[in-house]
Amino acid sequence: MFAVPARSAVTLPIEVVGEAGAEATVLVDIPAGQAIQVRGLWMQIHGLGFADMASVRVNQNPWVPLNNATVQIAEPGRSYGGIGGGFATLKMTLPLAPASVSDGVNTIQFRFNRTDGVASGFRVLAFQFKTADGKSILPPGEFQENDPNSWTPTLPDADSIASGRNLWYDGKLVANGLPGAAPIRAHCSDCHAQDGRDLKYFNFSNASIAARSRFHGLSELQGRQVASYIRSLKSPNPGRPWNPPYQPGPGLDAQPVANWAAGAGLQWVLDRDTDSLPYLFPAVTPAAFRPDGNLNPREIPIAMQLPDWNHWLPRIHPLDGWGKAPPKSLPPHPPLNSNKWTAGLAEKLYSTQLLQLVKTWESVQEGGEETEARIWPNTVPAATAPSEANIPNGPAGMGGSALTNEYFSSAWYQLQVVVNGGNHRHHGRTPIDWPYLAAHFLDLERLSGRAEPARLLVTLIKAIQSTDPAFGPANYAEGWRPDRNIDPRIMVSEEWAPEFAPLAAPMKTAIIESFLSAWLDKTLQYSPESYFSRGIVPTPYVWPQSLRDVAGGTVWQSALQFEAAGVNPQLIERIRTWGKTYSEMAELFHY
């Protein structure tokens, strides 16, 4: 009697890439007596850019297209638009009727239905059969991870690799994988890092590189040559396509600086914003808010998934977007409320901003500018936000919706906080215009219905820590100027109350007291008259409407709100005393 050969474990991720109709099939073994409990197929999928782009089939059941109605999208991805929204990787559950699976071997098929002119496939990072109460059925031994370090060029000979390099720099491409796609002037090296190190760094597979090459009009052989060239590069490769670059998380700084751009991984994208609090506040004390302190946002995990590398790459290169003589800088853009905005114009402008971001990444990687300090010496991430080009929320916005457009603005500003939040070296409104950034939290919360008090608190702390401790109020550009920053009143503002609603009452009171105390201690380091000048001063900053009652330094005006929030009466009295002294000094200088 012959033994039945052992079935191989499922290798993850499952890539479904290529032309419309591409499929991948896996077999899994449900332990005896367990199938009757299965009520859903849980999946974590990277790259579902639009509804019905992919379908799933379990055994001989009908194919099910994946969209926000057929699957249950987990938070926080659901609040940011689900399939077709902001997050590149989503967790979802496909409900299964009883008897959809059986004990023993079961078949799961994944299919790439079609492209929208952008997508060329997707990746299933993980999956599980689940019971009604969320219990996993498949044992861990059913799965194994694909190791990129085991990958080699599929065409390892020198001629093939040289051909791939030539194609990378000079290959003739078309715009996309749709029938009749027009030729484009840009080459692979124009939109990616010039030598292709980004695809090596983030470990895009041979199959995905070859598929994307065919998407842009190259042949199967040429695609394999390009993939072999990328695989032959000697640059570091700590990343994965689905792990957002620079995603913050604990332990990131302990890794080699070459790994920083790979981010902390999707495992550190939290399910709930308030899960960040233990990392942000080991103890809620004034020291946590100390303006002369140095909060490290790289090590604080957040519930916002930053854009993956695919969303860094421009969809339209300036060579093809702006005619024969592409501009050397971003072309003028219409005002926010202009009727000239179209989806096409917005895409061209946004792509130009993305190209600047990619080429900046290329520069810091090639030039070794990512040092142990882990600081980008520029403001390029913030400049990538759609709002920086006045791209309006709505049909002309990124993703065709107000929510997705606002997500990308918020995400790129968050990236700026991570790679260069000032670090006590701000100058005027650079590298970050903190009040403007804070206003986007309200905009995003109103569209998503999802408050982010912890991520906002990271922003508030970095804002008050952006000034140079060596300079006092007399230095308008770099010194401590409470009238030019966000202040503790934001914690007791009625307009901002929804943003802090998820905080438990005792936690919120402790945060308010600590923020207020740290702010006042720093303010009282300087004499009242040092906040005023008889000479010429910079033009007053025009505050966003949503911040006019939480910024400007007149914290004592909210004493009653601080009382209602349960703040220590002695601290409130200190605030009132300071306010009286400051106001009297202001009258003297005004007179």
66-76 confidence digits (pLDDT tens): 999 999 999 99
* Cα gap 262→311, rounded to integer Å: 14
Burial label for 482, CB within 10 Å (0-12, 13-18, 19+), is buried
Using the predicted structure, report yes or no on whether residue 353 has a pLDDT greater than 90.
Answer: yes
What tens digit of pLDDT does each residue of 360-415 get? 999 999 988 787 789 998 999 999 999 999 999 999 999 999 999 999 999 999 99
Q: Which amino acid is at 378?
A: N
- In 3D space, the residue among 209, 208, 201 whose CA is nearest the CA of residue 168 turns out to be 209
User: If one looks up domain 149-232 in CATH, what number appears?
Assistant: 1.10.760
What tens digit of pLDDT does each residue of 318-344 get? 999 987 666 666 677 888 888 899 999
Using the predicted structure, report yes or no on whether residue 4 has a pLDDT greater than 60.
Answer: no
Q: Buried b / exposed e across 27-66, counting CB within 10 Å, b at 16+?
A: ebbbeeebbebbbbbbbbbbbbbbeebbbbbbeeeeebeb
**pLDDT at residue 325, as a whole number:** 62
Q: Is residue 517 within 8 Å of residue 571, measured between CB atoms?
A: yes
**pLDDT at residue 550, as a whole number:** 83
What tens digit of pLDDT does each residue of 463-476 get? 999 999 999 998 98
Q: What average pLDDT does range 156-162 have in this prediction?
A: 98
Name beta bridge partners: 124: 14, 45
149-232 and 10-146 share a CATH fold: no
* Cα gap 250→111, rounded to integer Å: 36
Q: Is residue 143 within 8 Å of residue 10, measured between CB atoms?
A: yes
Helix (H) or strand (E) holding 435: helix 434-448
Q: Per-residue confidence at 539, pLDDT binned at 50, 70, 90?
A: low
SS3 annotation, 197-214: HHHHHCCCCHHHHHHHHH
- In 3D space, the residue among 245, 243, 306 whose CA is nearest the CA of residue 86 turns out to be 306
Q: Per-residue confidence at 477, pLDDT binned at 50, 70, 90?
A: confident
Q: What share of the chain in percent tops pLDDT 70?
A: 96
**pLDDT at residue 285, as a whole number:** 97
Higher pLDDT, 327 or 141: 141
Helix (H) or strand (E) holding 411: helix 402-419
The secondary structure of 256-290 as a DSSP string is -GGGGGG-S-GGGB-SSGGGGHHHH-SS-SGGGG-
What tens digit of pLDDT does each residue of 95-132 get? 999 999 999 999 999 999 999 999 999 999 999 999 99
pTM: 0.95
What tens digit of pLDDT does each residue of 239-286 get? 999 999 999 999 999 999 999 999 999 999 999 999 999 999 999 999
Query: So where are the chain's domains?
Result: 10-146, 149-232
Q: What average pLDDT does range 176-188 have in this prediction?
A: 96
**pLDDT at residue 7, as a whole number:** 61
Neighbours of 407 (CB within 10 A): 27
Phi and psi, residue 90, nearest 5°:
-130, 150
Q: Which CATH architecture has domain 10-146?
A: Sandwich (2.60)
Q: Per-residue confidence at 1, pLDDT binned at 50, 70, 90?
A: very low
Using the predicted structure, report yes or no on whether residue 547 has a pLDDT greater than 90.
Answer: no
Q: Is residue 493 within 8 Å of residue 550, measured between CB atoms?
A: yes
